[in-house]
Every structure is written in C-alpha cells, then in structure tokens.
Structure 1
Amino acid sequence: LPLLKSHYVRRLLQYLGKYAFMQRKTRGFWKVPMQTNQYLLNKLSLKFACAYTNTQESSEIDTLQKQSQDA
C-alpha cells in the first residue's frame, strides 16, 4: 500500500511540475511585444480557418458524390 501511495504522489508532483512549467511559458509569451503576439495569433487563426474550410469542402464533395451515386 505505501508503494501505491508513493506512485500517486509521484504522479501528482509530475503533473504539478508540468502545470507550473506551462504557466511559466504562458507568462513569458505575454512578455513578448504585442505586435509579435498579434502576428502569431493571426497566423494561428488563419491556419485554423483554412483547416476548417478544407474539412467543409471535402464534406461537400463527398455529399455531391453520394448524391450522384444515388441517382
């Protein structure tokens, strides 16, 4: 039983360590000049928009193909 508890404690400490590391990373990110942040945010949002558009286009093509097969 003590071995089991130490396993959980170790896991918890690993999780907390990763969380603290992520917090430090995010704090550092906002220290970068806002102009750079704006560039990164725009770039990310553009990537997500393109990915979404690509999924929509492929689903429309699939729908058209299914309709032509049904006809």
Structure 2
Amino acid sequence: MENKDNFTFNVLNSVGWTMVILRIANIISTPWANIGSYWLTLLIICLATAIIDPLVNKGGDKGGEK
C-alpha cells in the first residue's frame, strides 16, 4: 500500500510542476491562483494523510514473529 501512495503522490507532484513550467513558458493560461490552489490542496492531502495514518495504524505491525 505504501508504494501505491508514494506513486500517487509522485504523479500529483509531477502534474503540479508540469503546470508551473507550462505557465512560465506561457503555453497554458491557467491563472496562478488556480495553480497555487492545486499545490495547497496537495499539501492539505499530504498533511491529512500524515496525521491520520499513524492513528489508523497505531497497532503496529501485526505480522511479526510468532
């Protein structure tokens, strides 16, 4: 599951940087406020995941030694 989350974050991060680069190159006309909102939303998702994940997985690794 961790690899899937990491892959999803990498894709979203790449999309964000692509939007910034395309906007600087004046290829797209998306307002800077919308691009900033995208980054802010991504930050909120990451923070929520970082806060909720330890609460959900507080039991630790259940598949350890016997």
Higher-Rg member (1/2): 1
Higher relative contact order (CA 8 A, sep 6+): 2
More helix by share: 1
TM-score by length of 1: 0.41
TM-score by length of 2: 0.44
